[in-house]
Amino acid sequence: MPTDAITRKVSDRYAKAASTGEQMCCPTSYDMAQLKSFIPEEVLKISYGCGTPAGLKTVRAGETVLDIGSGGGIDCFEASRLVGPTGRVIGIDMTDTMLEIARTNASVVAANLGYSASNVEFRKGLADAMPVEDGTIDLIISNCVINLAPDKRKVFREMFRVAQPGGRFTISDIVADQTVPQYLVHDADKWGDCLSGALTLTAYIAGMREAGFLGIHLVTSSPWQVIDGIHFFSVTLTGYKVPPATTPSTSRYATLRGPFHHVVNERGRTYQRGIPQPITPDDAVLLSHPPLVGHFLLTPEPLPLDQTDPRWTAVFPAPAPCTWQGHYALLAGPFVEAADDDHHVYRRGEPLEICSKTLAVLETKGYAQHFAILNRAGQQASETASTCAPDGGCC
């Protein structure tokens, strides 16, 4: 299907929804009681997305926020409240009906917040050609919109262009556990349903990394729909436009604390738990970002760790038989590869079948934040216990 045709159909679909009040089926929920205190009902009733609201928990006063696919303006207006009157918010949307509603309500929201003037501006534009100046944005948010763009890699490049050095994104979107087949890709109706345009998690994160972002990691995930055996699920991801180091760093070594046995970061560097690795000043900058910083000790001198050190962390599977219940784990960063202590090697975005014991490991603190878990069992899975490996180990 031609790109222009996809864009037109998606825009028409959302324009119709704004006019008729149709409820678009994306897995999200807002704290409407709190938002109703300053956002008009006209905006709230046409709010669609798959995050709640994406990224805004990290907003600081005075920042500049960009919302890609701002719709009726709900996330922009919440950002307006959070950045305060000294901050700035830009919303981009391609649908005139949505823009009209958002612009009409901007002054109402400003008055409700006690601002002398609105700090929100709504611009007409496409996600892959944003009318925004280079290097001007502190935080980019988007709520189930990039999925609708035919050329997502171009969107990611635009995001990197407009983010300032040190800037970040937090976006929610729908991804799939396998490549969406052509009969769905060419189904016009399912584009508006956030299905046909879904990338795999691997391809989605790879596009962000290719654009230049680093430290890409999962914030939250939740299942959505299963269609013809394809699992569609919502993810919220964060990443950074990491600036180069400008001064020498006092941190010259990094030691992986765990719980992973070893990891490979986005620059291809391997870290094994407990073994200090020399790092560059640029490495130190990257490893200082969350959630990487929680897994490493950054020191001026080599600092090896072993199991007797309380900073050394590991989670081992229970010494008992397991069951296979249809669960699959998808590593979602900030590492491109990671291994646990039972010889599982997880590669970012790729589903790996896991047993009940491994599921219990991945649900513990330290692991859980990095994995999306799906269940592909089409019916109730057997509860028959089994020994996963000849030596009695897991899987």
- pLDDT tens for 60-82 read 999 999 999 999 999 999 999 99
The pLDDT value recorded for residue 183 is 86
The pLDDT value recorded for residue 237 is 95
Architecture (CATH level 2) of domain 246-314 = 3-Layer(aba) Sandwich (3.40)
Q: Which CATH superfamily is domain 3-240 in?
A: Vaccinia Virus protein VP39 (3.40.50.150)
The two domains 3-240 and 246-314 share their CATH topology (first three levels equal) = no
Rounded distance, CA 320 to CA 306, Å?
A: 26
Rounded distance, CA 318 to CA 19, Å?
A: 55
The pLDDT value recorded for residue 144 is 86
- The correct CATH number of 316-395 out of 3.10.105.10, 3.40.5.100, 3.30.540.10, 3.55.50.30 is 3.40.5.100
DSSP secondary structure code for residue 40 in this structure: -
The pLDDT value recorded for residue 11 is 47
Which range has the worst mean pLDDT, 53-62, 129-138, 258-267, 295-304?
A: 53-62
The pLDDT value recorded for residue 366 is 94
The pLDDT value recorded for residue 196 is 75
Tokens of 64: 């500049």
- Tell me: the pLDDT tens digits for 316-333? 999 989 999 999 999 998
What is the pLDDT confidence band of residue 239, given thresholds at 50, 70 and 90? very high
- The residues spanned by each domain of the chain are 3-240, 246-314, 316-395
Does the pLDDT at position 50 exceed 70? no
Q: Where are the beta strands (DSSP E) in the chain?
A: 64-68, 88-93, 120-124, 137-143, 163-176, 214-227, 230-240, 253-256, 262-264, 270-272, 277-278, 296-299, 327-331, 337-339, 345-347, 352-353, 371-375
Rounded distance, CA 386 to CA 322, Å?
A: 5
Across 217-224, average pLDDT: 92
Q: Which residue has the higher pLDDT, 180 or 254?
A: 254
268: left (phi over 0), alpha (psi -120 to 50) or beta: left
Look-up of token digits 């031609």: 2
Share the mean pLDDT of the chain.
Answer: 89
Across 202-211, average pLDDT: 98
CA distance readout (Å), 300 to 108, 192, 267, 270:
54, 52, 21, 19
Rounded distance, CA 153 to CA 168, Å?
A: 17
What is the pLDDT confidence band of residue 18, given thresholds at 50, 70 and 90? very low
Tokens of 208: 């962000």
Q: Decide if 87 contacts 119 (C-beta within 8 A).
A: yes
Across 227-256, average pLDDT: 94
Max Cα–Cα distance, the chain, nearest Å: 71
The pLDDT value recorded for residue 15 is 45
Does the pLDDT at position 391 exceed 70? no
